[in-house]
Amino acid sequence: MATYRKRGGTWRAEVAKAGIRESKSFDTKAEAVTWATKLEAEIDAGQRRSYSKVQKTLSDAMDEYLEKVSTSMGKHEWNKTRIEFFKSEMDFVGTLVRNVKPEQIAKWRDKRLKDVKTSTVNRDLNLLSAVFEVACKEWKWIHTNPVHEVKRPKDPPPRRRRVPDEEAAVMAKALGLTEDGPIETAQQYTALAFLLAIETGMRQGEIIGTVWRDVHLSQKYLHIPKSKNGDARDVPLSTRAVALLSRLKRTKDEPRCFPVAQSSVDALWRKIRTKVAKDKPEFADLNFHDSRHEATTRLSRKLNVLALAKMIGHRDVQSLMIYYDETAAELAARLD
């Protein structure tokens, strides 16, 4: 027999039958009764089984996800880092995965919101939900995904920072890049990577990970074997992009175009930006990734939306719009 309890403005239905225990919250009691009645009917018909013998913890599910699901993704290393963080911060990772409650996840969400932005929390919830989802749909360890019952915090408006040519030139110079000198230092590689990002819309990791065998300057494109979403793509190169890549030297025993660690690029960017911002405060909020906004906006004037999405590496136009930041004044100038 199902039980119903009112908690604040919601109704929670709980079903305990034939070894199966499930609960879910709804806005009205009628919705709760409908759900519970349907579940009990499925149990009676043998369409639901008890998962009480599945002795897997949330930590086990995270490990399984990394081993069997995440490895094929472009963001596998990020997943590993975040799951390591989850294990150190979530006090319920040792709980049997079937016993993890939405309330525990919501409590963790609220704690995180005190320290980080809503966008960070939502990204973490996406990963946590993915773990529960595969445990439910594929491994059959649980009946439902508890993250689905957790309210997501509202993301802030998309970032709109652009990179004018003047600012790009200032950063390149501050990083030690000259017009025609050799590229030898990590700072100079960072500067060239930034300029290439503005020209192509490539992500920092994609640029730093580029190897010479994937660069085809005579055909004006380079190949990315696996991007953030796991897809491979070919990036067309403008004359300017070809000129930038041509400045890089090739050595026999170095397959990378940019022989520098991405962590070093991050650190050097922040260091030089801080130094520049002492005299030019407007640089304080300039991120390397803002190059993607600038590139997408510039390229939109040359490519149709499908070609642009293919070049930038987005599967849908909605994602592409996050990086398209053309102002009303710029649009007006194109009308005449």
pLDDT digits (tens, 9 = 90+) for 151-201: 999 888 878 889 999 999 999 999 999 988 899 999 999 999 999 999 999
Does one domain contain both 180 and 329?
Answer: yes
Q: Measure the CA–CA gap between 78 and 200, rounded to whole angstroms.
A: 23
CATH number of the domain bearing residue 307: 1.10.443.10
Helix, strand, coil percent content, the chain, rounded in steps of 5 = 55, 10, 35
Does one domain contain both 22 and 80?
Answer: no
Does one domain contain both 172 and 132?
Answer: no
Does one domain contain both 213 and 301?
Answer: yes
Q: Is residue 155 part of a domain?
A: no
Does one domain contain both 63 and 172?
Answer: no
End position of a domain, from candidates 101, 118, 149: 149
| Residue 329 φ/ψ, nearest 5 degrees | -65, -40
Does one domain contain both 143 and 216?
Answer: no
Span between the terminal Cα atoms of the chain, in Å: 71
CB 196, CB 241: distance < 8 Å: yes
- Record the tokens describing residue 130, joined without a space: 């993915």
| DSSP designation for 139 | S
Task: Domain of residue 71: give its range.
Answer: 58-149
End position of a domain, from candidates 88, 120, 149: 149
pLDDT for 146: 94
Q: What is the pLDDT of residues 246-258, one digit of tens each?
A: 999 998 889 999 9
pLDDT at 39 over 90: no
Which entry of 48, 98, 112, 314 is annotated as an active-site residue? 314
Which entry of 223, 228, 256, 298 is annotated as an active-site residue? 228
Which entry of 12, 24, 203, 233 is annotated as an active-site residue? 203
Does one domain contain both 232 and 127?
Answer: no
Q: Is 203 a catalytic site residue?
A: yes
Q: Is 323 a catalytic site residue?
A: yes
pLDDT for 50: 61
User: For the residues of 18-36, what is the DSSP string, one character each?
Assistant: TTEEEEEEESSHHHHHHHH
Does one domain contain both 257 and 291?
Answer: yes
Give the number of domains in the chain.
3
Does one domain contain both 143 and 205?
Answer: no
CATH number of the domain bearing residue 82: 1.10.150.130
Q: Is 314 a catalytic site residue?
A: yes
Does one domain contain both 174 and 289?
Answer: yes
Q: In this structure, how many other beta carbons lie within 10 angstroms of the beta carbon of residue 52?
A: 11
- AA identity, residue 71: T
Does one domain contain both 169 and 212?
Answer: yes
Which entry of 51, 65, 189, 323 is annotated as an active-site residue? 323
- CA 330-333-334 angle, to 5 degrees, is 95
